[in-house]
Chains A and B, each alone.
Chain A
């Protein structure tokens, strides 16, 4: 079974703090993604990576950066957290081999910025 893990289930941070969200997958997937989920807005893509050290902006990259130094790990960084970044953050991974576009999601990190 594919396993995607996220470093924290719940986080509370103060405005202006630097926040790191970590994601690890164990299936040797090339592609990894960060989404945020907000009520009434569904899931929105923040950044994705299709290989080590490669990254691409998604639909809402402002206020975020990412790092992918190893294939299995994809980090989301909030340089200076703000209250409008309070959200559920979901990491996903996918292999670009095969015949489907299924993405496997981690359990999510509920981040609250006060």
Chain B
């Protein structure tokens, strides 16, 4: 059973507009969320993260919103640029930054959304 869901396999957005990528999760024990970006033939690179104690985190053109009651998070990219065309993965962790035990559980990833920025 998939615990992290990205229901849109692909999304096409015009350059300069806002891109909104969505992610839903089912496990209420997840308390830390991350977004990764992946180009073909490269490893994923970290974009932005959010702890469950927050509802918004912003870094330049990227903002992540978390709605815990709905178990939903979204990544906003404003304005969208051609270099943003990539696959975006939402990931969740059971052991957030408040945990001091050094647990190494892997991240649970969604299936990814392929974002295409149209010129």
Contact = CB atoms under 8 A, between A and B. Distances in A.
In this complex, the interface size class of chain A, counting residues with CB under 8 Å from chain B, is 35 or more
Contact of B105 (A35, A41, A48, A99): A48
Interface in A94-112: 94, 96-108, 110
B95 interface: yes
A66 interface: no
A111 to B, nearest CB: 13
A44 B49 CA distance: 19
A96 B34 contact: no
A96 B102 contact: yes
B25 interface: no
B43 interface: yes
B46 A45 contact: no
Given A40-B111, A108-B41, A102 B46 contact: yes
Interface of B: 6, 9, 32, 34, 36, 41-46, 49, 89, 91, 93, 95-97, 102-112
17 contacts: A30-B102, A31-B102, A33-B106, A35-B106, A43-B44, A45-B108, A48-B106, A90-B43, A94-B104, A96-B103, A97-B102, A101-B49, A101-B93, A105-B36, A105-B45, A107-B43, A108-B43
Given A42-B110, A101-B34, 15 more contacts: A42-B6, A42-B89, A43-B44, A45-B106, A45-B107, A48-B104, A48-B105, A48-B106, A96-B104, A99-B97, A101-B49, A101-B97, A103-B46, A107-B42, A107-B43
Interface of A: 4, 9, 30-31, 33, 35, 40-45, 48-50, 56, 58-59, 90, 92, 94, 96-108, 110
